[in-house]
Structure 1
Amino acid sequence: MEIRKSNLDERVKQLQSLGSEEFAHINGPLTAHLVGTYKILERWQLDESLCLAGLFHAIYGSDPTRAQLLGTDQRAEVAAMIGEKAEELVYLFCSCDKPFVLPQIGAETKVSFRNRFTGETSEFPAHLLNDFCELTIANDLDVARNKSEEYYHDDILAMFKRMYPMVSSHTQAELDLLFVKFCA
């Protein structure tokens, strides 16, 4: 599972060449957040393609308020960098209309997905749901931990609880500690 450090360094250089250092994020450039998300997924001993998706998870812009490093017309180029499986998850994460989709996860048996780029609604791809949950949690953990004070809104904690059954035992163990600290 572990990616060679030189390979990770190469991927980070690719992101930097696309301008990830110029985009501001919580307490620093976007690059730091992308690497932070990757490292969380790696620590949970998840599949390399999921870790790489974490590293590139904002390349197409992760929500309407954030800039993109590449347009969705360059998906083939991203797939060449990180593999088709990782790129598929990156596109899903970036295209997800999160206010529409996230409240359904764990509350509904079938989750409707709305693509914020196209406006199309379809059934959430079941084969990507667990990885999407892992990536979403890792992203939000990195964001919260890079604020001046680690804090989670009640809606984020509720989302983590709904996603809990869908994630790995390593992720669940980290969430257990988080729930003790912030849900007491």
Structure 2
Amino acid sequence: MSADVDVRAWLRSRGTETIQHPGGTLYAHLCRVEERLADLGHGADLRSAGLTHAAYGTDGFGLALLDWSDRATLRNLVGHAAEALVYLYGACDRRSSWQGLAATGEVTDRFTGRVVRLDADQLTPYVDLSVVNELDVIEQDPSLLDRHGDYFRGLFRSWAPVVSPPLVERLRRVLDR
């Protein structure tokens, strides 16, 4: 059994196929994020993080599949690098972190209150995961772009210097409609 199959089985065992999410279920969303990261040419760690990015819940999606203090469970499934990115993604206090992220590289941890400074090797994968996630949600529910388009356009423009090159064109296509 491959590691990806194990992760997908774990996600299903956590009920993700029954949790509603734009575009169907949380499971479908997680799979789409992983597939889109693969289409962009990202490696296994970022793809695994994409597949499990909601494990600890997020600032925008409060349902957690696993308590954030039980990091070893997810680390055993996806590896240290992927789990560290999932934790960062789930722990991010978006209100205090996202607007200045490209300039500061700082993420406020909503679980602990600590501020973490990302280096260049961490910042682009984090931003790419965030962008791909938000684009999937927007593509599944275009009314979100109608309601929050100015916010996302401004945010993603501010992140442009740290977004991976393959993602820049995708951002333009979705946000400039």
TM-score w.r.t. the length of structure 2 is 0.89
Q: Which moved more, 1:147-156 or 1:36-45?
A: 147-156
Q: Report the Cα distance in structure 1 between the residues aligned to 2:69 and 2:119, rounded to whole angstroms.
A: 21
Quote the offset at 1:73 in angstroms: 2.3
Distance of 2:128 and 2:47 partners within structure 1: 10
CA contact (8 A) 2:19 2:26 kept: yes
From 105, 122, 125, the equivalent of 1:128 is: 122
- Letter paired with 1:54: G
1:38 aligned partner: 34
What amino acid maps onto 2:138 in structure 1? A
2:109 — aligned with what?
115
Matched, 1:146 2:140: yes
Q: From the superposition, tell whether residues 171 and 148 of structure 1 become closer, same or farther in structure 2 (CA, over 3 Å).
A: closer
Q: Aligned with 2:107: secondary structure? A: strand
2:3 and 2:155 mapped to 1: Cα distance?
Answer: 33
Q: CA deviation at 1:148?
A: 5.6
| Equivalent of residue 93 in structure 1, options 66, 80, 89 | 89
Distance change >3 Å, CA 150–CA 62, structure 1 → 2: closer
- Give distance in 2, aligned partners of 1:9 and 1:81: 10
> Percent identity at matched positions?
29
Q: Which runs of 4+ in 1 moved over 4 A?
A: none
Match of 1:16 among 2, 5, 12: 12
Structure 2: runs of 5 or more not aligned: none
State how 1:14-93 maps to structure 2 within 5 Å: 14-63=10-59, 66-93=62-89
- After superposition, what is the alpha-carbon deviation per residue over 1:32-51, rounded to whole angstroms, capped at 9, x for unaligned? 11111111111101111001
The RMSD of aligned alpha carbons is 2.1
Q: Distance in 2 between matches of 1:90 and 1:126?
A: 17
Report the CA distance between 1:65 and its aligned residue: 5.1
When normalised by structure 1's length, the TM-score is 0.85
Q: Residue 72 of structure 1 aligns to a residue in which SS?
A: coil
